Amino acid sequence: MWRVLHWTLRGHASCDYFTRPHSTAFRAREPLLITGRVTGSDGRPRAGIIVYAYHTDRLGIYRPPVPPRSQASYDHGQLRGWARTDAEGRYTFETIRPGSYPHTKNPQHVHMHIIEPGCLTYFIKELQFSDDPVRKGMTEEELKDQEDAAIETPRKTAKGWEVTRDIRLGENVKDYGPCSAPK
């Protein structure tokens, strides 16, 4: 099925901030399951595509691992991961619900990138949540600034939250031409 290639929340050695039971962030987090399907421009599922995602902790902070592994780990923080799509184009991330940036009107969001092996790497619309209190309190003008977001409705479950973010390859890529499948 799907495979998480790297997601620091799920017990990676550097994820001490969220794996210590005495950590406030560990106790107060809201689990979030992000699922979706990646399709080509023809609408057919694409296997072997890598989805990269990163987001803030529940307080809206990108907490870097200690010590940082790279500039990207420092900039994107501990809550980042990669998943490779299965034969049906499906991917899954198990994480926590992000917080909004402190003292801003920037809604909760998850940054997402696509890696088409042997072809392209590009960002896609960030995932935002329709039930986010910050979004709900925005004016029409402020919401227009968020038009480059994929706004999805999370579902509350007994285990936390679930949200679906389906992806069409080439999203946000000017003059995108489909890549041939990796060999």
128 burial type by CB count under 10 A (0-12 exposed, 13-18 middle, 19+ buried): buried
| Nearest partner of 46 among 4, 84, 93, 81, judged by Cα | 84
* Spatial separation of the C-alpha atoms in residues 43 and 56, rounded to whole Å: 31
Dmax over Cα atoms in the chain, in whole Å? 50
* Spatial separation of the C-alpha atoms in residues 129 and 108, rounded to whole Å: 7
The confidence score (pLDDT) of residue 85 equals 96
pTM over 0.85? The answer is: no
**pLDDT tens for each residue of 67-96:** 878 888 888 888 999 999 999 999 999 999
